[in-house]
Copies of this chain bind each other. A is one copy, B any other.
């Protein structure tokens, strides 16, 4: 496996690599959720590229950007062990040689949920993903379902801008107790980690209520959301959404997405569960 740090280098390496090319864009701090993305990419492509780039443009909080874990050597080892052929790990100066003047925006999908809580976040995500798509020119790109709104944004961007790329969603990988894997979990102290599972429990409770026939989003939010009423938890949002439009849903008729974002101490966690039709 090769680690390339320059755009010219990764393009050269890719020119000699067999297609189809599967692409897993990451911000590093790789865990078993990323390993699953790489495995799925390997099953569906001849060449697997993993990018590792902590994108300053998508952080609304400078402190969050600074604190974001950097661990290239262990990340590269995890990528290799799971079947990646190329790692693209550029510096910020390689990706943003000057101030960014051009932005990709999906305003219709980003007015609620994380889009409302994190101004500019999805503009940063869409812009860096468009850049990486043009650098890597993959046939498929894999994204985790944990970031449901991000996935909807990428789907819309690829469809609306006619990127010649297939977006492959990959189910969320969870700890045995249900907590969704996230690079941010490593920041949780033991007591915080114990309480973090409440987010998944609340989503699962909502799913259960919908499965039992409840259709009133307000009631579901209230009953399932009660599991988040903990002094250590600050709820950013806990709501039902139309999975296509990313607008809040008042009627819980499937398909409906249950989405939550909470803060425990300094750590922000998100998760979601889809109730399929």
Contacts and interface: CB of A to CB of B under 8 A. Distances in A.
Interface string A86-125: 0000000000000111111111110000000000000000
A144 B153 CA distance: 33
Interface stretch (A128-136, A230-238, A247-255): A128-136
B103 A104 contact: yes
A102 B126 contact: yes
A37 to B, nearest CB: 22
Interface string A147-167: 000000000110011111000
Contacts of A162: 7, 131, 134-135
A267 interface: no
A272 interface: no
A135 B163 CA distance: 7
A44 interface: no
A201 interface: no
A127 B163 CA distance: 12
Interface centre among A99, A101, A107, A126 (most CB of B within 10 A): A101
A102 B100 contact: no
Nearest to A104: B104
Contact of A108 (B101, B104, B127, B130): B101
Nearest to A99: B108
Contacts of A157: 102
A185 interface: no
A118 to B, nearest CB: 19
A160 B109 contact: no
A131 B161 contact: yes
A129 to B, nearest CB: 10
B102 A161 contact: yes
A34 B127 CA distance: 31
Interface of A: 7, 11, 99-109, 126-127, 130-131, 134-135, 137, 156-157, 160-164
Sorted from nearest, which 5 A-B pairs have the closest CB atoms?
A102-B160, A134-B162, A101-B108, A131-B162, A102-B157
